[in-house]
Amino acid sequence: MSVTLTRAGPAEILRAAQKDDFFCRKLRELLTEILLQVGGTRVLIKYRELLNATGNLMYFGATTLSGLQTLGEEYTGILQFDVLQSDIPQLRKRLLMILLSEFGQKLTSLLILKFEHHNLLRNEKSKIRPEARRDLLKFISYMKMIVPFLERLHRAVFYWTGYYCHISKHLTGIQYVLVRYWLKNRQSLYGFKLLSVVTTLQTLLVIITKSINFFNYNDQSLQAPTDNINKSVLSNKKCPLCLDERKNVSVTPCGHLFCWYCILEWVQNEQKCPICRETVLPSRVVPLQHYS
């Protein structure tokens, strides 16, 4: 006998995600207290990011990776489903989904940064023509600015279609079905479509505005620096994030200086100062005019 499965909607999936975020946060707080008692404040600051990732991996390792529903999924009555094989996702897919969800964006940013500082682009003696090297660096810098907005656009598509709430689930082909199909929330579908339109327009407007500002930016700041220039840059004039001379110097409320694009990219992913871990909102980053 064939069974028709009812696909979960955005309302059920988002409620489950909110519940899971709540339990993950509680677990991270517990781990933070333990590390603070054992190692003190200095150790806590050093391993804060690793601690956050550990808490999330512990939660989803004990639930999703073990083939169980998360507490949020159980709360809303949804179940992960592999649409490619019409079955429960295989272990390797569940593992890949968890790793991509936790480290995918960070790995992408790291790869872009690694490519940006490759010797082929930074070495004046490389075989790449200076004009091509400059254009590549400009393109990479532009991609660094755009990447954080791809998740927003993907979320807007999810609001409209109800498919794949996260890029990691899209890449692994994992969706959600309703266990209690008679509880499907159909009244909110039009509201989510409206939210999709608003989110898309707002994200595209931000991308267009940032793109205009980016391409109007002084091309001289995007030229590949030579080894001699890099050696001559004093350490107190380097950006702590890109390790190059600061461009469009900007300051956080806690008083630390960064490149404008570097710190904006950072706070889009994590709203904390990368040096002292104080809370930093994107709106609180201030560009400094005529700073040398």
Per-residue pLDDT, averaged over 187-201, amounts to 89
Question: Residue 98: pLDDT band by 50, 70, 90 thresholds?
Answer: very high
Which residues, at least 6 apart from 150, have a Cβ–Cβ distance to it below 8 Å? 167
Task: Considering the chain, tell me which residue range(s) the CATH 3.30.40.10 domain(s) occupy.
Answer: 233-292
Query: pLDDT tens digits, residue range 109-141?
Result: 888 878 877 766 666 666 777 777 778 878 888
Say how far apart CA 110 and CA 103 lie, in whole Å. 10
Q: What angle do CA 160, 109, 16 make, to 5 degrees?
A: 40
Check pLDDT > 70 for residue 249: yes
- Would you say residue 185 has pLDDT above 70? no
Q: Which class in CATH covers the domain with range 233-292?
A: alpha beta
What the block records as the tokens of 72 is 């949020």
Distance CA 166, CA 151 (A): 8
- Highest mean predicted confidence (pLDDT) among 90-104, 115-129, 226-240, 270-284: 90-104
pLDDT of residue 182: 65
Is it the case that residue 211 has pLDDT exceeding 80? Answer: yes
Measured from the Cβ of residue 193, the count of other Cβ atoms closer than 10 Å reads: 15
What's the average model confidence in pLDDT over 239-265?
Answer: 84
Average pLDDT of span 39-65: 86
What is the Rg, in whole angstroms, of the alpha carbon atoms belonging to the chain?
A: 22
Coil vs helix vs strand at 26: helix
> What are the angstrom distances between the C-alpha of 41 and each of 36, 38, 47, 134, 246?
6, 9, 10, 43, 30
Residue pLDDT, tens place only, 53-93: 899 999 999 999 999 999 999 999 899 998 776 788 999 99
Examine the pLDDT at 265 and tell me if it is beyond 90.
no
Q: Are 75 and 15 in contact (CB under 8 A)?
A: yes
Q: Whole-model pTM?
A: 0.67
271, 282 in Cβ contact below 8 A? yes
Which amino acid type is present at position 274? Answer: P
